[in-house]
Amino acid sequence: MFIKVALLLVFFAVTIFVGFYFRNRASDVSGFVLAGRSLGPWLTAFAYGTTYFSAVVFVGYAGQFGWRFGTAAVWIGLGNAFIGSLLAWVILGRRTRIMTHHLDSATMPEFFGSRFDSRAIKIAASIIIFIFLIPYTASLYNGLSRLFAMAYGVDFSICIVAMAVLTGIYVVAGGYFATAVNDFIQGIIMLIGIVAVIAVILSDNGGFMASMNALAHVQDATVSSTPGIFTSFFGPDPLSLLGVVILTSLGTWGLPQMVQKFYAIQSEKVIFKGTVISTVFATIIAGGCYFIGSFGRLYSEMIERGADGRVSYDSIVPTILSTFPPLLIGMVIILVLAASVSTLSALVMTSASTFTLDFLKGNIFKNMNGRMQLLSIRLLIVVFIFISSVIAIVQYKGGIGFIAQLMGISWGALAGSFLAPFLYGLYWKRVSTASVWCCFIFSTSFMILNIFFRDAFPAPLQSPINAGAFAMVAGLVIVPVVSLLTKAPLKTTVESCFSCYEETIRVKVSEDLGDDEDTAQ
């Protein structure tokens, strides 16, 4: 216990120190929200990766989908790495940085308002973000609480308060730059921890081949009668597996807390390096998490079950970790705490800055200067942390939903609403305001109906995860179809937005060879 507590105290001390050390970089709105758009490749890539992966993935998703799909769950991690990270950086990174800088946008709703020349769209987007980030935040607390209970035997409420206070202190003090530095430190911890956990699990089960052989002999007639199904290429349910890959990978393209990382990119050189670093980080972390979860069935007799005999998915990973030596348990707790705190900081920063800059500024307060904006963001960070903490306690005490389901609702509504308008908005001039409204209304309504009338949905869409994936894909169809059937946006507005891509800059020959004929001359 001494070792585990000592590791925890060191982590708390370093995190808070970083927050206060960089407080001078958070003296204005741009510095507090975007670090002055000055982050290099390592900080940007690790900020993206640590925001992506939290206790939701490590505890909720790894446990549930590792149990359901076996080693095929690793496809989810690979999808996160190559679709959610690599393609996101390649397709969105450069254009997002250029256009948001051109439009002077600090948030996603602010981008929508300028790009589609609609104040109403900006307000609607800010409200959607504020509402639907709450269940995601609650799921972060829930996942972490099970590990704390296993390692320290503390009450869930104490875990929530500790995590909330820690996050609140360093985010309010140091803003986004402090958050990015802490994300880098936390990312290093996550990389070391995930490799150590994999090594111990394989060692405990006789090595890689022996572990795979043991899993291949696991039988579950309720899932499939095929021998070795849990070590097969696509697992027992390929269609559901695809839905999870889409939700967790493509979804990042429309999540404000993820996309906003591209706003703060310093320069062109950051794009390539950040892409490589982010992809490698995601491959190790996400692939490792699902690989760990896939061996949950080897600990079947120890795993918690409900009154109906069903496995408690959220208890699978904590049960596996409970067999570890104390030092390694302490390392894993810091690993998951680091992942959760980094994600929580991104969520509260996104919610507070969005609500201030896109809802309060210009609507509730007509003349809101920079000092008032900064004060409002800091106060709202505290408010949002408090609200999400209370909801997390209520959710836990009431036994409302598994972690994965809570995240599915949040990601489905947010990415379903924003992914298509944002993606098409960066590349296609014909996107209409009506199409954006249709996407917002369809995705939020669809996910809300899925919460309250789930049994009325077709069987594949009764899962919030599959429903969220469907909402994202539907948005990619809704926006172009509605845009072609409705009034085109004003040409002057569109040309003004896209003019940033037409600007000519001079670069060194080492970066661009230029035209062959010109070079020859």
String of DSSP letters for 277-288: HHHHHHHHHHHH
pLDDT of residue 511: 54
Whether the CB-CB separation of 354 and 126 falls below 8 Å is answered with yes
For residue 103, give the nearest of 423, 506, 494, 369 by alpha carbon. Answer: 494
pLDDT of residue 520: 41
3-state secondary structure 338-352: HHHHHHHHHHHHHHH
| Residue 361, strand partner residues | 365
pLDDT of residue 156: 72
> From residue 132, how far is each of 19, 127, 271, 350, 409 by CA, in Å?
27, 9, 29, 12, 8
Q: What is the distance between the alpha carbons of residues 80 and 282, in angstroms, rounded to a whole number?
A: 7
CB contact set of 63 (below 8 Å; sequence gap of 6+) = 293, 296, 313, 314, 315, 316, 317
Q: What is the distance between the alpha carbons of residues 91 and 364, in angstroms, rounded to a whole number?
A: 36
Residues constituting the chain: 521
Whether the CB-CB separation of 447 and 467 falls below 8 Å is answered with yes
Quote the tokens at residue 347: 């969520």
The pLDDT averaged over each successive group of 10 residues in the chain (521 residues) is 79 87 79 76 87 78 89 94 94 91 89 93 91 76 68 74 84 85 86 88 90 89 83 89 88 88 80 91 92 89 75 81 80 79 83 86 81 90 85 68 64 92 95 96 93 87 86 95 94 91 69 48 40
pLDDT of residue 30: 78
Q: What is the distance between the alpha carbons of residues 403 and 142, in angstroms, rounded to a whole number?
A: 7
CB contact set of 521 (below 8 Å; sequence gap of 6+) = none
List own/partner pairs for 454-458 with CB under 8 A and 24 or more apart: none
pLDDT of residue 228: 87
Type of residue found at 478: I
